[in-house]
């Protein structure tokens, strides 16, 4: 960015998935869509899953999702890469294979040059090509706040979906990426300091983790994005009718995240996440408010949270009979 041009992150009220509508407010709004009855729908609105799943024939389900957000980093190419990886993640979180993507763009055409938009689109294409997914067309609007993402269509076997409502008690909980990108992204928005570790994490596809989870026999999973680890875990446990225990010390962190937490780079989205789940979280001895905020940190393009042990990834807790989340 030049001296005459604002940093991308300063043009957004929130960065990445931290700009999501708070989960409680969102659930209230989408309740207007409840009650739809279609025999072909396997996964719909009921449990706030990562993507919709519709059976089109025996042995084949089509998955559909859309995800876009405001700038999470200042480099336009990296923003495009992150947004594409994040959108594709919803398909991987369902145990599916992405097939095609289309771009979604909001652009302040009188403020930012189209050279920057080309870089954003080029970044999105680079990650889609890594995933083997064509990017064909899309939709754009003139918008005072820049936004970018993708709508993605994928496929899966109807009997091999990873769902929010399929968790059973007595199984390990696996997390496939470290936490802390929300803190590091908020630090960049505030100071301009770039975390390459955060960028590397956000641009990494969840494809291999999804395949490993399916191979391990997992039936329940979600990706950890704007509602934080606690928010997405709460949604999955609530949908499945079970509880969970998290071992705080076992939760991996991105390099620099602990320091960003210490220095107070906590987003408003993270605080809203914690407010939403607080009544369902029981903090054990030694668990601090800072620990709770870290576990509620609004992630962008985070990892998969899988019910079951996935070889090569850390186990951070377990599912249990009951309800709510215990932290130890």
Catalytic amino acids?
A: 17
The answer to whether the beta carbons of residues 186 and 15 sit under 8 Å apart is yes
Contacts of 264 (CB under 8 A, 6+ apart): none
The Cα 234–Cα 56 span in angstroms is 31
Nearest-5° Cα angle at 53, 16 to 298: 20
In 234-271, which positions are buried (b, 16+ CB within 10 angstroms) versus exposed (e)? bbbbbbbebbbbbbbeebeebebbeebbeeebbbebbe
In which residue are the tokens 């446990």 written? 237
Nearest-5° Cα angle at 323, 320 to 326: 70
The Cα 128–Cα 123 span in angstroms is 9
Round to the nearest angstrom and report the end-to-end CA distance of the chain: 44
The answer to whether the beta carbons of residues 101 and 154 sit under 8 Å apart is no
Contacts of 245 (CB under 8 A, 6+ apart): 317, 318, 320, 325, 326, 327, 328
The Cα 15–Cα 86 span in angstroms is 13
Phi-psi region of 312 (alpha: psi -120 to 50; beta: other; left: phi over 0): left
23 has which bridge partners?
Answer: none
The answer to whether the beta carbons of residues 84 and 124 sit under 8 Å apart is yes
**Phi and psi at residue 283, in whole multiples of 5°?**
-90, 125
């Amino acid at each position: 960015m030049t001296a005459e041009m604002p940093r991308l992150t300063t043009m957004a009220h929130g960065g990445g998935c931290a700009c999501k509508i708070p989960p409680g407010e969102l659930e209230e709004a989408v309740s207007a869509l409840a009650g739809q009855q279609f025999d072909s729908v396997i996964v719909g609105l009921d449990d706030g899953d990562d993507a919709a799943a519709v059976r089109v024939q025996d042995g084949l389900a089509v998955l559909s999702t859309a995800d876009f957000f405001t700038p999470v980093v200042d480099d336009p190419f990296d923003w495009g890469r992150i947004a594409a990886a994040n959108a594709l993640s919803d398909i991987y979180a369902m145990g599916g294979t992405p097939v095609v993507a289309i771009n979604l763009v909001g652009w302040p055409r009188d403020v930012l040059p189209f050279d920057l938009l080309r870089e954003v689109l080029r970044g999105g294409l680079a990650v889609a090509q890594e995933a083997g997914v064509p990017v064909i067309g899309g939709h754009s609007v003139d918008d005072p706040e820049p936004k970018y993402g993708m709508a993605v269509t994928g496929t899966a076997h109807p009997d091999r979906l990873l769902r929010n409502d399929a968790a059973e008690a007595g199984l390990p909980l696996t997390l496939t990426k470290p936490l802390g990108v929300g803190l590091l992204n908020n630090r960049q928005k505030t100071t301009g300091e770039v975390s390459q570790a955060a960028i590397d994490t956000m641009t990494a596809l969840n494809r291999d983790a999804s395949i490993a989870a399916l191979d391990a026999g997992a039936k329940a999973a979600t990706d950890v994005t704007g509602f934080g680890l606690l928010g997405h875990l709460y949604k999955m446990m609530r949908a499945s009718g079970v509880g969970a225990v998290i071992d705080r010390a076992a939760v991996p962190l991105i390099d620099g995240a602990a320091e960003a937490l210490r220095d107070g780079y906590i987003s408003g989205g993270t605080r809203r996440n914690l407010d939403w789940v607080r009544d369902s979280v029981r903090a054990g001895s030694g668990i601090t408010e800072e620990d709770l905020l870290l576990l509620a940190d609004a992630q962008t393009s985070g990892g998969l949270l899988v019910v079951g042990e996935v070889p090569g990834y850390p186990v951070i807790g377990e599912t249990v009979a009951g309800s709510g989340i215990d932290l130890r």
